[in-house]
Amino acid sequence: MRNKTSSWGHEDNTQDKYIRFMLDANPTFLITTTGKHLEYINKTFLNFLGYKEMEEFKKNHSCIDEFITSINGQPYSHHKHRKDRWVRHLIEKPGNDHIIYLQREHVSEEEAVTAHLVSCTAFPDFDKYVISFTDITNIEKERCLLKQQAMTDSLTGIFNRNGFNHALSMEIKRAQRYGSPISLIMLDIDHFKKINDTFGHNVGDDILKKITKLISENIRVYDIFARWGGEEFVILTPHTDSKHAALLAEKLRDLIATTNFAPVKKLTCSFGVTGLIKENCFAREMIDSADKALYEAKRGGRNRVCIV
């Protein structure tokens, strides 16, 4: 009787079975592929995907393509006629570290999305590849948390200066690419040092949080709001020219001036507004322009809006 031919392209023998045993015993997710066709998935990976056997998996899927949501930070859209695209990407860049996100449907929402460090190794003398997936979900969650913390103001929960600078540069490039207006509002709480000296820093912190809440509730969802430092805040308003941004600033100025911030009897803010200064404007120039407008508002008596 002729021996059964295996997926490796030679007769199924003891060595072949040993290789399969090693693949299945490995706690890391492993697949073998020709680059165009998925040939084998180890049992660890099959169980993770919700299947017991390769044959059962192949009845529903021809590739793990359908489980991939992103590769190296870029969204991935699978296509029935291009299921080898993600594999070819790994093969063409074998020395690179790749991070692939997978999503499952048979588990809880918390466990559904996982992150994996993926590497590709060519089989000697065979046109085949072993692709390994190392689970780094907890590491990625920690990294994302640290990144979020680095860009978030711990007191108010909005962007800090670092986070805002990053967003500002991105939005300026977008505005310049599409020729759309964009404006920057900078505001400062008037006589804030006197509030801290009179009522204490705890009251001062409460006022910062209350102002943050008030402004957040009265700007658009896609406006970018940040604490610039101390008692100073910034608002980036995409798709808005400086004239309409000044109207928003006036609305916020009036809201703050008429809101009860007990125990402080009266609280006001000064506002500086600017738009893109020139066609090839940089973030630093826009910030300097808004800061200049804010200085004019404070020099002019505070509790007012100035536009540059």
Q: What is the mean pLDDT of each run of 10 residues along the chain (308 residues)?
A: 47 68 83 83 92 90 87 79 71 79 89 92 80 90 83 94 92 88 96 96 97 96 95 96 96 97 94 85 91 97 96
Rounded-to-integer distance, Cα 48 and Cα 45, Å:
5
- Give the C-alpha separation, 163 to 56, whole Å: 47
| Helix and strand element counts for the chain (H, E) | 11, 12
pLDDT at 15: 67
Q: What is the reported pLDDT for 128? A: 83
Helix 201-216 with 242-257: angle, nearest 10 deg: 130
For residue 263, give the DSSP letter: T
Buried b / exposed e over 110-149, threshold 16 CB at 10 Å, is eeeebbbbbbbeeeeeeebbbbbbebbeeebeeeeeeeee
* Neighbour tally for 247: CB within 10 Å: 13
CA angle 55, 70, 129 (to 5 degrees): 50
| Cα 292 to Cα 273: distance, rounded to the nearest angstrom | 9
Q: Please tell me the CATH code under which domain 14-143 is placed.
A: 3.30.450.20
Which pLDDT value is given to residue 81?
57
231 is catalytic: yes
The pLDDT value recorded for residue 229 is 94
What pLDDT, on the 0 to 100 scale, is given for residue 5? 46
Burial class (CB in 10 A: 0-12, 13-18, 19+), 37: middle
Pick the catalytic residue: 39, 231, 285, 296?
A: 231
- The pLDDT assigned to 118 comes to 92
- Choosing among 3.40.1800.10, 1.10.3470.10, 3.30.70.270, 3.40.718.10, the CATH entry for 151-307 is 3.30.70.270
Domain ranges of the chain: 14-143, 151-307
Query: What pLDDT is attached to residue 21?
Result: 80
pTM of the model: 0.65
